[in-house]
Amino acid sequence: MTRAWKLPILLVLCGAVVAAGQFLRGEPGEALISLPLFLLLAGILSPLVFPKPVDAQEAERRSAADGRPIVFWRSGCTYCLRLRLRLGRDARRLHWVDIWRDPTGAAVVRAANDGDETVPTVMVAGRPHVNPDPEWVRGQL
């Protein structure tokens, strides 16, 4: 679970150091610009941008009941972020499994990708699709 927050925390700390340095050099305007940019980037790369994740078993149970795809993802993945942002509100209709929080989900992804944890991996009707086009995923809803 802490792995998902390492990058955002690092960005917040770096932003604080950069802003403090700019402020101490007498550049408060630049510090007021730098810190929010680092905070924004940390927020985008954090798990907060994604719908609440469920574990792989729960996602499979829900998918079997409603037929919706399962998205295996991890925070910090730019392709996962691209998929999430391009899906917009439709992203909430999918079942999201964070492979850094769920070892079973990570095992499913490794089994589908020849041992690699390549994300996003979208499972539709039991078939994996690695880094699919967001419009294709929207069509599966």
Alpha carbon distance 59, 80 (integer Å): 17
Cβ atoms 4, 45 nearer than 8 A: no
**Residues in contact with 89: Cβ distance below 8 Å, sequence separation at least 6, in sequence order:** none
Phi, psi (rounded to 5 degrees) for 58: -65, -40
Instruction: Assess whether 29 and 63 both reside in one domain.
Output: no
Half-sphere exposure of 107 (CA within 13 A, CB side): 6
The tens digit of pLDDT for each residue in 88-133 reads 888 889 999 999 989 999 999 999 999 999 999 999 988 999 999 9
Instruction: Assess whether 15 and 44 both reside in one domain.
Output: yes
CATH number at residue 77: 3.40.30.10
The domain in which residue 39 lies consists of 3-48
pTM of full prediction above 0.85: no
Instruction: Assess whether 129 and 96 both reside in one domain.
Output: yes
Beta bridge partners of 83: none
Instruction: Assess whether 36 and 55 both reside in one domain.
Output: no
Number of domains forming the structure of the chain: 2
The tens digit of pLDDT for each residue in 43-66 reads 877 777 777 888 999 999 999 999
Residues in the chain: 141
Instruction: Assess whether 111 and 66 both reside in one domain.
Output: yes
